[in-house]
Copies of this chain bind each other. A is one copy, B any other.
Amino acid sequence: MPIRLDTEHSDFPARFATFLGSKRETSVDVQDQVSAIIADVRARGDEALIDLSRTFDRVDLAALGIKVTDAELDAALASIPAETRAALEFAKARIEAHHARQRPTDETYTDAAGVTLGHRWTSVDAVGLYVPGGTAAYPSSVLMNAVPAQVAGVPRIVMVVPAPDGQIAPLVLAAARLAGVNEVYRVGGAQAVAALAYGTATIPAVDKIVGPGNAYVAQAKRQVFGQVGIDMVAGPSEVLILADATANADWIAADLLAQAEHDTAAQSILVTDSDDLAARVVAAVDSMLDTLPRAEIARASWRDHGAVIKVRDLDEAPALVDRVAPEHLEIQAQNADRLAARIRHAGAIFIGAYTPEAIGDYVGGTNHVLPTARSARFSSGLSVLDFMKRTSILKLDADALGKVGTAAVRLAEVERLQAHGRSVSIRTNAGGGQ
């Protein structure tokens, strides 16, 4: 049974704090193992990739090739049903259209002192996209990572995906082809991250690495950060559904289960002011579980991490939601827009009864790579900005330098950086020599 909390109970603050602090993943310490793998790839390049892939993925890359050929990619795309291809193209077009609006604008202006200030945005040159391998194939994740990079204008988009026993899901390769990925390598784990960060003879280094992975991949991204850029370190996913008595219990149950089926560490939370709705949702979840192919996973997630939180009224909810800072927030209630406007910390908000979170996973157009595990407190979903960077611009003439230079010289002096001060005064005193 999911945990039940009630804001009217005197132990609510303590129990809610415990709930927030509970770990949903057993963190394995792979720090030293990953350091060793990275060192190995830096020292031996492709050879290390071949050896490590033989060990971890039971695949002989020396025979199969590290790089997936264009012919393989074309064959994968040709192999998927037309209806699937159409759905992927439909999703891609919608993601593209929305992300195109995220392109930032450059600006320069001259202020009252005569100082010209500004910034210019440019794309990253090369991006590496990590895609997990194995039985689960998520072509939608390929689109969600590759399309924003393309919209940003990244000239070189590289994908790495492990090939356990030599296999890569054709759907993933097909999505890569559709999304304009330029190169695909059949390598995974910390070794793939190391190869992307430092380069090997076969895999030229990239500038930034994005995409989810297991504990080894996450730790490897952490360790190469600085050498290259990385996106967030993804944790287990969650949904919080805010609902009142007017909501449809079956629809909410379906949405809770859509989250729960991802992973036993996933989390589904219902916050409602209606005991009756809560009861109906819980019953509907139990009933739907019986017919769900991934029932075992969903049941464990709902049992171990699910929660039903009863509030006095929905006015109480935004403060609770902000403390959870959920990756996904659904609001199925009257005044859903007004409630949404009061939320500060959430990766994405899905407003109204006809906006199940799954739409955002596939075809809404917004990105489904969102901050998990309370990181919406400080980070945003993936966007075009993650594949661009800003160069700031400053331009002064003699007059402007005269106006602002004195304060700069003073600050350089108090910081005891005399050469800083001199680089200003040598110009402002130019008439009288240095």
Contacts and interface: CB of A to CB of B under 8 A. Distances in A.
Contact of A31 (B35, B101, B421): B35
Q: Is the interface of A mostly helix, strand, loop or mixed?
A: mixed
A345 interface: yes
Interface stretch (A44-52, A156-164, A220-228): A220-228
A193 to B, nearest CB: 14
A260 interface: yes
B411 A140 contact: yes
A385 B121 CA distance: 14
A397 to B, nearest CB: 5
A408 interface: yes
Nearest to A399: B354
Given A261-B419, A416-B136, A391 B348 contact: yes
Given A357-B423, A393-B349, A407 B86 contact: yes
Given A87-B410, A207-B378, A292-B418, A348 B393 contact: yes
A2 interface: no
A426 B250 contact: yes
A401 B111 contact: no
A333 interface: no
Given A340-B393, A394-B351, A356 B424 contact: yes
A110 to B, nearest CB: 11
A293 B421 CA distance: 12
Contacts of A5: none
B226 A235 contact: yes
A423 B257 contact: yes
Contact of A365 (B111, B136, B138): B111
A115 interface: yes
A428 to B, nearest CB: 9
Interface in A375-431: 375-381, 383, 385, 389-398, 400-401, 404-408, 410-412, 414-424, 426-427
A190 B97 CA distance: 44
11 contacts: A84-B410, A86-B407, A87-B411, A97-B111, A111-B365, A225-B233, A346-B391, A348-B393, A359-B405, A363-B405, A364-B394
Given A87-B408, A208-B378, A226-B232, 5 more contacts: A88-B411, A91-B411, A226-B235, A348-B393, A362-B411
